[in-house]
Amino acid sequence: MSEMKAIRVAYGEALAELGEKNDKVVVLDADLAHATMTATFADKFPKRFFNAGIAEANMVSMSAGLSTMGLIPFCSTFAIFGAGRAYEQVRNSVAYPHFNVKLAMTHAGITLGEDGGSHQAIEDIALMRVIPGMTVVVPCDASETRRAVFAVSEMDGPVYLRLARLPSHVFEGEMPFEIGKANVLKEGTDVAVFACGIMVKAALDAAEALENQGISAAVINMHTIKPIDAECVMKYAKQCGKIVTVEEHSVIGGLGDAVASVVIGKGDFAFKKIGVQDRFGQSGKPDALLAEYGLTVPQIIEDIKSII
C-alpha cells in the first residue's frame, strides 16, 4: 500500500514550516482552522494567525489590507466560500490591484463527500482562472502541496491554491515543481492525458492499465492551470493527436477548457474532457461520488478508449 496523506494536512504543515522561515507570513481563516488545517500554523504562531469568524467577504478584503502592509497573507476556508461567496472580494480587493494574497482553499471538489452539493466547489477553478493576473495551482499530492506553498510564497501577486480534503496517494520521490511548468509523469504516443489534483494518480493508473492493452498514453501533471504550460500542451497534443483532460471539477471552465484554449485552431485533435458534467455534487462517500461522476480509474480508461 502506497503512502496516503491528505493534501490539506500537508498544507497546514507546510504553513507552519514556512512560518519559521518567513516572519512576513500571516494566516487567516473563517472558523474552519481545524478543517483547513491552518490550526497547525495557529498553534505555532498565534500572533500571526487571525480568525476572521464566519465572514469570508471581510476575511478576503482584510487579507488585501494586510498585504499592503508588507505581509504575506495566506487566506483559507472551504473553496466554495473562498472562491464562491467571496468571489467579488477576490476580484476587486485582491486581484484588481494585483495584491500579494495567497488564497488557499480546501475541501474542493466532490470528494468533500457527505456534506453534499452545497459545499462541493466544482466551479472554483473556472471562477479563479477567469480573473486577470491570478495564478491557479492545483497540487496533486501532499508532497507537491508543500512545494507549492513555498513556491507561491516566493512569488509576488495573487494566487489561488486549490486543495483537497481526503487522504490521497503520495507519489514517491521529489517531483520537480515550478509554477507554470507542467510535469510529465509518463511518456506516450497515442493519447495525451492532462490531469490535475487527485485525478493525476487516477490518470496515471488508467494509463498504465492501457499500456497492457496496447495503448500508449502520456500523462501530464498540470499542477498550474494558470499560467498554463502552453508549450508542453502543444508538444503532447502534436505528439499524440488525441487529448484527454481529467479533473475533479466541472468540465466547464476548468483544466479541460484551459487545455482546449491552447490547442484550438492549431490542429485537428480528438478531445475528451473528463470531469463533472455540468451538474451539482451531492452527499455520499467520496469513492461512491467518484464513481457516480465518472472519475474512477475504470471509467477513465473507458473514456480514453472512446476516442482512440
Contacts with other proteins: how many residues (CB under 8 A)? 29
Q: Is residue 96 near other proteins by the rule CB under 8 A?
A: yes
Q: Are 210 and 301 in contact (CB under 8 A)?
A: yes
Distance from C-alpha of 56 to C-alpha of 239, rounded to nearest angstrom: 45
Binding segment (CB under 8 A) for other proteins, from list 47-55, 138-146, 182-190, 231-239: 47-55
Distance from C-alpha of 225 to C-alpha of 196, rounded to nearest angstrom: 8
Q: Is residue 97 near other proteins by the rule CB under 8 A?
A: yes
Helix (H), strand (E) at residue 72: strand 72-76
Q: Is residue 68 near other proteins by the rule CB under 8 A?
A: yes
Strands lying side by side in the sheet with 224-226: 49-51, 25-29, 72-76, 102-105, 159-162, 135-137, 224-226
Q: Is residue 50 near other proteins by the rule CB under 8 A?
A: yes
Q: Is residue 100 near other proteins by the rule CB under 8 A?
A: no
Q: Are 221 and 183 in contact (CB under 8 A)?
A: yes
Of 4 and 130, nearer to other proteins (C-beta) is 130
Minimal CA–CA distance to 192: which of 96, 307, 40, 105? 307
Q: Is residue 52 near other proteins by the rule CB under 8 A?
A: yes
Q: Is residue 269 near other proteins by the rule CB under 8 A?
A: no
Tell which one of 64, 110, 140, 276 touches other proteins (CB under 8 A): 64
Q: Is residue 88 near other proteins by the rule CB under 8 A?
A: yes
Of 61 and 77, nearer to other proteins (C-beta) is 61
Of 26 and 244, nearer to other proteins (C-beta) is 26
The dihedrals phi and psi of 78, each to the nearest 5 degrees, come to -75, 150
In the complex, which residues of this chain contact other proteins (CB under 8 A)?
26, 47-48, 50, 52-53, 55, 57-58, 60-71, 73, 88-89, 92-93, 96-98
